[in-house]
A = this chain, B = another copy of it.
Amino acid sequence: MAAMDVYEAIKKRRDVRSWFSSRQIENNVLSRILDAGNRAPSVGLSQPWNFIIIRNIEIRKKIKNIVETKRVEFYESLPEERKDKFNGIKIEGIMESDLNICVTCDNTRKGPNILGTATIPETSEYSVVLSIENMWLAARAEGIGMGWISFFDPDNIKPLLGIPENIKIIAYLAVGYLREDHDIPELEEKGWESRIGLSNLVYENTWGTPPEDDMEKALQNYRIQ
């Protein structure tokens, strides 16, 4: 079983579109990654997730076409000065990755009295997202990259995968071994966005109040190595 320090996995994990190799993912490795997903916390232990592994090339081609249409729509919506930069950015690796995984949410699983969903119904979907990050980090430890694709209307994807009406698509993932590691997110590398530093994002007790001096200094100095 692959071993990687949790901080290393967090640091080296990237949202991958471009760097997939053609190596196949072994079933035992894929099983561990999915097991990582199934061990995520879920509201009221509801485990609202399902994982659809998509190997079928015809289905993937159709999904790629749907994504491409949305890519063009997004391109058209951009101000002129952003269009060129956007064209240099790859937004999905549906065909280049070894397989795709569609992760869904069934918010009726385990009945009507789920601890915690009564007050905040979104917590079912949030549980599924927690499971996706577990998978992302497990994959990273196995040398496998994941890319979360969101350029589609879920209603167009659901019939292709036979997903029932009451089930919500949370994520569509491209998954495969990596040819190379990247320290910097692709969107930063390509100058699309820059990252905000941690100390700008942390408050104490109330919104907008910076933490006390000692904590402020720690935020500047103690990071993941």
Contact bitstring A113-140, B, C-beta under 8 A = 1, else 0: 1011111101101100110111011101
Interface check A53, CB cutoff 8 A: yes
The reply to whether B198 and A52 contact each other, CB–CB distance below 8 Å, is no
Q: How far, in whole Å, are A108 and B21 apart by their CA atoms in the complex? A: 35
Contacts of A118 in B (CB 8 A): 70, 73-74, 77
Interface residues on A, range: 35 or more
Contacts of A79 in B (CB 8 A): 113
Interface check A32, CB cutoff 8 A: yes
Q: Which residues 155-208 in A have Cβ within 8 Å of B in the complex?
A: 161-164, 167, 170-171, 185, 187-188, 192-193, 195-196, 198, 201-208
The reply to whether A224 and B51 contact each other, CB–CB distance below 8 Å, is no
Once A192-B45, A207-B164 are accepted as A-B contacts, the answer to whether A115 and B30 lie under 8 Å apart by CB is no
Contacts of A29 in B (CB 8 A): 222
Most buried by B among A74, A129, A196, A215: A129
Contacts of A203 in B (CB 8 A): 50-53
> Which residue of B9, B27, B59 contacts A222 across the interface (Cβ within 8 Å)?
B27
The reply to whether A32 and B54 contact each other, CB–CB distance below 8 Å, is no
Once A36-B7, A45-B187, A187-B44 are accepted as A-B contacts, the answer to whether A150 and B116 lie under 8 Å apart by CB is yes
The reply to whether A151 and B39 contact each other, CB–CB distance below 8 Å, is no
The reply to whether A32 and B113 contact each other, CB–CB distance below 8 Å, is no
Nearest 7 pairs between A and B by C-beta? A27-B218, A133-B133, A28-B222, A129-B129, A45-B193, A162-B206, A116-B150
